């Protein structure tokens, strides 16, 4: 058994797909888990909406619950106008949730524990906000950086700070998800390796090993919560940022 807590994040090339210049583009274990997450979501939603009964069964109510949950999140943060972004937010939420939950299964790979994945997700939100903001509001989008009721002599300073605050969004957006998943999985692995190390140290070691074992059980429960919570936080922040594109300044 591997006791190295970092080894679980290793990218493994499964088979080559294409070659661009001298760089080989390979289908990696990360890509395989993303495909698995998309397959799980698709099966869940297709099977859940298949029966279309008036009194929903178990699977159908789970699918409807997911829809209602995301729709309510969007309506409460970005208003009904935000519902045009429902497919985008729903995709982000379900994808991150599925990937996080699959990563909790022992011996699997956690896609969101790599910052390149979360950064691309956050940048897609950031660019959507910018493109849609300029497309819908034109130059009024810059009102976002000019808060009302600020004395004119400190306005330039405030505008600078607002612009920096805006630019920092994709960083905090991506680092939060990535760091949570990375830290959680490393902690789990470290405590789990304590069990085997202590277990090999005689009778007292086995008694002592129950302590990290109990901790790992508790941590797994916590990680389950974190997996859901971080998907939710990512979705709600996406809504808040999209709200800026829909109504910049007031």
Residue ranges binding other proteins (CB under 8 A): 77, 79, 144, 147-148, 157, 160-162, 164-165, 167-169, 171-172, 175-176, 179-180, 222, 225-226, 229-230, 233, 240, 243-244, 247-250
Min dist. Cβ of residue 156 to other proteins (A): 11
Helix axes 202-246, 58-78, angle to 10 degrees: 50
Residue 35 or 183 having the CB closest to other proteins: 183
* Phi and psi, residue 200, nearest 5°: -85, 0
Min dist. Cβ of residue 27 to other proteins (A): 32
Residue 45 or 179 having the CB closest to other proteins: 179
Min dist. Cβ of residue 161 to other proteins (A): 5
Min dist. Cβ of residue 225 to other proteins (A): 5
Min dist. Cβ of residue 160 to other proteins (A): 5
Residue 119 or 198 having the CB closest to other proteins: 119
Residue 48 or 184 having the CB closest to other proteins: 184
Min dist. Cβ of residue 124 to other proteins (A): 17
Could you write out the three-class secondary structure of the chain?
Answer: CCCCCCHHHCCCEEEEEEEECCEEEEEEHHHHHHHHHHHHHHHHHHHHHHCCCCCCCHHHHHHHHHHHHHHHHHHHHHCHHHHHHHHHHHHHHHHHHHHHHHHHCCCCCCHHHCHHHHHHHHHHHHHHHHHHHHHHHHHHHHHHHCCCCCCHHHHHHHHHHHHHHHHCHHHHHHHHHHHHHHHHHHHHHHHHHHHHHHHCCHHHHHHHHHHHHHHHHHHHHHHHHHHHHHHHHHHHHHHHHHHHHHCCCC
Residue 77 or 94 having the CB closest to other proteins: 77
Residue 110 or 180 having the CB closest to other proteins: 180
Min dist. Cβ of residue 23 to other proteins (A): 26
Residue 60 or 128 having the CB closest to other proteins: 128
CA 47/CA 39 separation, integer angstroms = 12
């Amino acid at each position: 058994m591997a006791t190295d807590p970092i080894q679980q994040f290793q990218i493994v090339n499964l088979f080559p797909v294409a070659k661009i210049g001298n760089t080989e583009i390979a289908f990696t274990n990360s890509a395989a888990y993303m495909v698995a997450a998309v397959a799980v979501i698709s099966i869940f939603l297709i099977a859940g909406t298949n029966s279309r009964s008036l009194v929903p069964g178990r699977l159908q109510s789970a699918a409807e619950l997911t829809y209602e949950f995301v729709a309510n999140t969007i309506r409460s943060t970005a208003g009904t106008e935000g519902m045009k972004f429902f497919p985008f937010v729903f995709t982000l939420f379900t994808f991150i949730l599925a990937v996080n939950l699959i990563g909790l299964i022992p011996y699997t790979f956690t896609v969101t524990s790599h910052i390149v994945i979360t950064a691309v997700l956050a940048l897609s939100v950031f660019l959507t906000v910018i493109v849609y903001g300029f497309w819908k509001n034109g130059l009024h989008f810059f009102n976002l950086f000019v808060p009302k009721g600020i004395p004119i002599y400190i306005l330039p300073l405030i505008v600078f700070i607002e612009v920096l605050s805006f630019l920092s969004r994709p960083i905090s957006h991506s680092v939060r998800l990535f760091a949570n998943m990375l830290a959680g999985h490393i902690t789990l692995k470290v405590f789990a390796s304590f069990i085997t190390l202590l277990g090999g140290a005689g009778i007292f070691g086995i008694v002592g090993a129950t302590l990290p074992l109990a901790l790992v059980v508790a941590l797994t429960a916590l990680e389950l919560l974190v997996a859901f919570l971080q998907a939710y936080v990512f979705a709600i922040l996406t809504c808040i940022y999209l709200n800026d594109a829909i109504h910049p300044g007031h």
